[in-house]
């Protein structure tokens, strides 16, 4: 239940609506406020900045942070294009967490989670989410929410929005009590799209982020995403959302997508992100995600293996046959991960096909002799 609440509410913290009244093209020329000076430590804003500085230090030391110079530069450059004159004050940290989320603290610290990076198809879609968060930052919405918090215990929960441990443990309660208001969300939507336009991104991609997320959540609870996520329960229906997003991007005929650049930036992390997604334990959502990714990139053996493994682990009616087909197709492509052979071994073993299981396990050991579970697989052999 905690995992289920987390996904939906993390989406509230990250995207929390690409909705609201349609923006006119006058908003494309929206002007950002001047760069923020560090507030007096004695003020409520100054105290919040100091606490965020402490959280940022913890984040830099966290084992969840991805310390890769190439990925860091890619994300920093993208956020910088959106932030404009505020770019020197924005610091982006990629965080290994398999949920759809990005968040930005009032001191300029931004977290981008790997679950978000896995789900967007190109840089423009990522810019839609990041631009939305920068919109909250530029309007100082976090400070407004802080001033609405009265009790000390509530303040502690509010602060945990920006800490990894607290975020995972308390996101459900936080989203319900301290989510940005609808007006704030609409303001962030409009600013985010204005920033995308100014940076040259295709604003039409923002609607696709929302629709892809809706389809993923619709894979459970009879196709009703409102039963899965507060994000969909508390905002207009899908038809109205689609119309609003289309109007927000009305008149925009193109822009930068950055699909190849996005893929290159994530190339070294795809296996890790897919493995984390499988371990998230939300198989129906994972399969909806993988079906969409495979439709876009049908020759990626790693995606086929991941979908097959999700089906093998679920083991519902017909799943094992579909899993076998995915594994065999991945092997036929010739670029399958070693884990594909391990999964084949387990699948054949569950069907009492000992010789085929042995062959698959042997291939796994040959391809990954130093794998952490090599000794256990050898014992099975």
Q: Residue range 99-111: average pLDDT?
A: 90
Please determine, for residue 232, whether its predicted confidence score (pLDDT) is greater than 60. no
User: pLDDT: is 25 or 256 the higher one?
Assistant: 256
Distance CA 16, CA 26 (A): 24
Lowest mean pLDDT among 134-138, 200-204, 249-253, 313-317: 249-253
**What pLDDT, in 10s, does the model give residues 336-347?**
999 999 999 999
Sketch out the chain's domains with CATH numbers. Answer: 2-248 (no CATH), 268-380 (1.25.40.10)
Half-sphere exposure of 254 (CA within 13 A, CB side): 0
**What pLDDT, in 10s, does the model give residues 161-182?**
555 444 443 333 334 434 566 6
Question: Percent of the chain scored above 90 by pLDDT?
Answer: 57
Mean pLDDT of the chain: 82
Please determine, for residue 87, whether its predicted confidence score (pLDDT) is greater than 80. yes
Confidence class for position 155, pLDDT limits 50, 70, 90: low
**What pLDDT, in 10s, does the model give residues 135-145?**
999 998 877 77
- Give the pLDDT score at 238: 45
**What pLDDT, in 10s, does the model give residues 352-373?**
999 999 999 999 999 999 999 9
Query: Which residues, 6 or more positions from 172, have their beta carbon under 8 angstroms from its beta carbon?
Result: 2, 5, 6, 9
Please determine, for residue 330, whether its predicted confidence score (pLDDT) is greater than 80. yes
């Amino acid at each position: 239940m905690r995992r289920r609440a987390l996904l939906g509410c993390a989406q509230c913290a990250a995207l929390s609506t690409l909705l609201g009244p349609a923006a006119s093209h006058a908003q494309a020329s929206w002007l950002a406020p001047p760069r923020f000076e560090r507030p007096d430590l004695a003020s409520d804003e100054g105290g919040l900045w100091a606490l965020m500085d402490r959280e940022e230090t913890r984040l830099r030391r966290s084992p969840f942070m991805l310390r890769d110079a190439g990925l860091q530069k890619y994300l920093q450059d993208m956020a910088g294009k959106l932030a404009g004159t505020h770019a020197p004050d924005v610091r982006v940290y990629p965080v290994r967490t398999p949920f759809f989320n990005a968040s930005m603290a009032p001191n300029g610290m931004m977290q981008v989670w790997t679950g978000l990076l896995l789900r967007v198809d190109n840089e423009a879609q990522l810019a839609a989410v990041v631009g939305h968060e920068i919109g909250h930052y530029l309007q100082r919405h976090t400070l407004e929410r802080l001033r609405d918090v009265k009790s000390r215990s509530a303040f502690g929960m509010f602060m945990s929005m920006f800490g990894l441990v607290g975020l995972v443990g308390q996101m459900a309660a936080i989203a319900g009590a301290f989510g940005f208001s609808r007006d704030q969300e609409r303001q962030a939507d409009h600013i985010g799209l204005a920033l995308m336009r100014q940076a040259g991104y295709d604003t039409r991609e923002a609607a696709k982020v929302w629709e892809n997320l809706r389809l993923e959540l619709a894979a459970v609870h009879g196709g009703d995403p409102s039963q899965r996520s507060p994000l969909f329960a508390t905002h207009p229906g899908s038809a109205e959302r689609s119309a609003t997003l289309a109007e927000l991007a009305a008149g925009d005929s193109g822009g930068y997508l950055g699909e190849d650049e996005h893929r290159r930036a994530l190339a070294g992390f795809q296996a890790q992100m897919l493995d984390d997604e499988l371990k998230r334990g939300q198989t129906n959502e994972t399969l909806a995600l993988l079906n969409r990714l495979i439709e876009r990139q049908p020759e990626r053996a790693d995606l086929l293996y991941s979908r097959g493994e999700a089906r093998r682990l679920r083991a519902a009616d017909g799943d094992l046959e579909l899993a076998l087909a995915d594994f065999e197709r991945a092997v036929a492509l010739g670029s399958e991960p070693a884990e594909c052979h391990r999964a084949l071994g387990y699948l054949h073993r569950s069907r009492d096909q000992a010789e085929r299981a042995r062959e698959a396990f042997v291939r796994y050991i040959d391809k990954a002799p130093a794998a952490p579970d090599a000794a256990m697989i050898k014992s099975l052999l």
